[in-house]
Amino acid sequence: MTIKFDNVYINETGTVSGPYEGNGPIGKYLDLCHDDLYFGEDNWEQAEVKLIKEAIDVLLRKSQVDLTLIDAFIGGDLLNQITPSNYAMSSFNKSFIGIYAACSTATLGLILGGSLVEGGFLNKVITFTSSHNMAAEKQYRYPTEYGGPKPKTTTFTATGGASALLSKEKSGIKLESGTIGAVVDSGSKDVFNMGAAMAKAAADTIYKHLKDTGRSIDYYDLVLTGDLGIYGKEILKEYMASEYNIKLGKYNDTGVMLYDLDSQPVYAGASGPACAPLVVYGYIFDKMRKGKYKRVLLAATGALMSPTMVNHKLMIPSVCHAVSLEVIS
């Protein structure tokens, strides 16, 4: 299901990160990078709450839009009951739509926000998402202090918060369309190879997006996936070619871009809901404004399992929500 938007723009963004992201190749494009993973809080969960609040505060400051003018927030994260989002929202007294789409949260938020703006229901809406490496490791696997070894296909959950302001005001980047993905049975049960589990969802949504819009893949100057990592990226390229006869040429993966994979200890690359928006709102939007890319398809992917379901030896369901982004002239 692809929704076309005639009048929706991403007017401003806010990006906040931890030290790994700040020291990576994208760091200099982010609004705020912290040196410490606690962000002055007592625990990882509250640190993630703070990431969200800061990502919103930074956006409001940059856009010079007063909070009273924001009609609603749309957001979510990886933690149980999306508590970082819910606790952060308890400080804002604004209508809140809580969503869960794992690492594809940013694009689902943009599509929902875009629909509510395009439909005339909301004037200004802020979408946000976050992830925190330590909070995610503690919840999904083991506290990192245990020091357990991991296979090289593992991805490294990014620490960051990202927000975007949507309205009909013609400025910044145009949200041209969005494809709401279907949950696919990945057939994979390996939580240490999430890229493999999510590649099928990415292929499904990219294919449907092109079919719905009647476009060829060459319509886009750049196709980006959410966070497949170095192995998942290759799987997607092979799968798109063999299954759909589509050659992913001008293509990259935000999980491969967020860190320096040669020097940083991040296994197969970045993952987490913050990964795609940190790379896109920070780095890609800068390149779009400077004329390097005019049309970008961002296909963010999410792995939708829980530790309980993994313990039941079930496959990992995955999803991909895609948005078409355009520079306005």
- Contacts with its own copies by CB under 8 A lie at 1, 3, 42-43, 45-46, 71-72, 76, 78-83, 86-87, 89-102, 108, 112, 115-116, 118-122, 139, 179-185, 304-309, 312, 314-315, 317, 319
Q: Specify whether the backbone of 271 is left (phi greater than 0), alpha (psi in -120 to 50) or beta.
A: beta
Reference 103, options 9, 197, 240; nearest CA is 197
Instruction: Considering the complex, state which of residue 108 and residue 228 has its C-beta at the smaller distance from its own copies.
Output: 108
CB 90 → its own copies: shortest distance, Å?
Answer: 4
Reference 198, options 218, 230, 228; nearest CA is 228
Report residue 324: phi and psi, to 5°: -100, 125
Instruction: Considering the complex, state which of residue 43 and residue 249 has its C-beta at the smaller distance from its own copies.
Output: 43
CA distances from 206 to 9, 51, 178, 322 (A): 22, 30, 11, 7
Instruction: Considering the complex, state which of residue 74 and residue 327 has its C-beta at the smaller distance from its own copies.
Output: 74
CB 102 → its own copies: shortest distance, Å?
Answer: 7
Instruction: Considering the complex, state which of residue 290 and residue 312 has its C-beta at the smaller distance from its own copies.
Output: 312
Burial-class residue 71 by CB neighbours within 10 Å (0-12, 13-18, 19+): middle
CB 76 → its own copies: shortest distance, Å?
Answer: 7
Beta carbons of 275 and 159 less than 8 angstroms apart = no
CB 261 → its own copies: shortest distance, Å?
Answer: 27
Instruction: Considering the complex, state which of residue 120 and residue 149 has its C-beta at the smaller distance from its own copies.
Output: 120
CB 79 → its own copies: shortest distance, Å?
Answer: 7
Instruction: Considering the complex, state which of residue 290 and residue 313 has its C-beta at the smaller distance from its own copies.
Output: 313
Please tell me whether residue 48 adopts helix, strand or coil conformation: helix
Burial-class residue 126 by CB neighbours within 10 Å (0-12, 13-18, 19+): buried
Please tell me whether residue 253 adopts helix, strand or coil conformation: strand
Output the furthest CA–CA distance in the chain (Å, rounded). Answer: 52
Distance CA 321, CA 323 (A): 7
CB 249 → its own copies: shortest distance, Å?
Answer: 27
Distance CA 323, CA 31 (A): 23
Instruction: Considering the complex, state which of residue 119 and residue 151 has its C-beta at the smaller distance from its own copies.
Output: 119
Instruction: Considering the complex, state which of residue 37 and residue 97 has its C-beta at the smaller distance from its own copies.
Output: 97
Beta carbons of 293 and 264 less than 8 angstroms apart = no
